[in-house]
């Protein structure tokens, strides 16, 4: 079974700083997808970024980018120029052919003014 591990329960940075959230996963499959979701206090799950495992190039979405290391099974999220609105729970997630999302434990990120 696939597992997703986020080893940082909480993180806190100052506004405008860069922060990196860690995620590792375990799978025996070769084709899969990785995601980062944001869950603000409203609890609405919002897709931040996705990465296809077959793509070597790291995904980027404006201030959000990932460092995907397939061999190491690592998928970290970098947030540049952090903003107060980035304060939220962040979940790393894995999806394979079964199309089920497996979530990590989450990292609570706080951006301080």
Partner 1 sequence: GAVVSQHPSWVICKSGTSVKIECRSLDFQATTMFWYRQFPKQSLMLMATSNEGSKATYEQGVEKDKFLINHASLTLSTLTVTSAHPEDSSFYICSALTGSGNTEAFFGQGTRLTVV
Positions touching partner 1 (CB under 8 A) are 33, 35, 42-47, 50, 91, 95, 99-106
The answer to whether 95 and 4 are in contact (CB under 8 A) is no
- Chain Cα centroid distance, residue 113: 23
d(CA 24, CA 6): 7
Which residue, 14 or 62, has its beta carbon nearer to partner 1?
62
Angle 36-90-53 from CA coordinates, rounded to 5°: 20
- Provide, rounded to whole angstroms, the least separation between the CB of residue 100 and partner 1: 6
- Provide, rounded to whole angstroms, the least separation between the CB of residue 43 and partner 1: 5
Which residue, 15 or 52, has its beta carbon nearer to partner 1?
52
Which residue, 14 or 60, has its beta carbon nearer to partner 1?
60
């Amino acid at each position: 079974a696939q597992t997703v591990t986020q080893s940082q329960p909480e993180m806190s940075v100052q506004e405008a700083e860069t922060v990196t959230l860690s995620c590792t996963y375990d799978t025996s499959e070769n084709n899969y997808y990785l995601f980062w979701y944001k869950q603000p206090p409203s609890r609405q799950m919002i897709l931040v970024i996705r990465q296809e495992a077959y793509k070597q190039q790291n995904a980027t979405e404006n201030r959000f980018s990932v460092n995907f290391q397939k061999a190491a099974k690592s998928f970290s999220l970098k947030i540049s120029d952090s903003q107060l609105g980035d304060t939220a729970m962040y979940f790393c997630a894995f999806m394979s052919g079964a199309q089920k999302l497996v979530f990590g434990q989450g990292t609570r990120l706080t951006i301080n003014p």
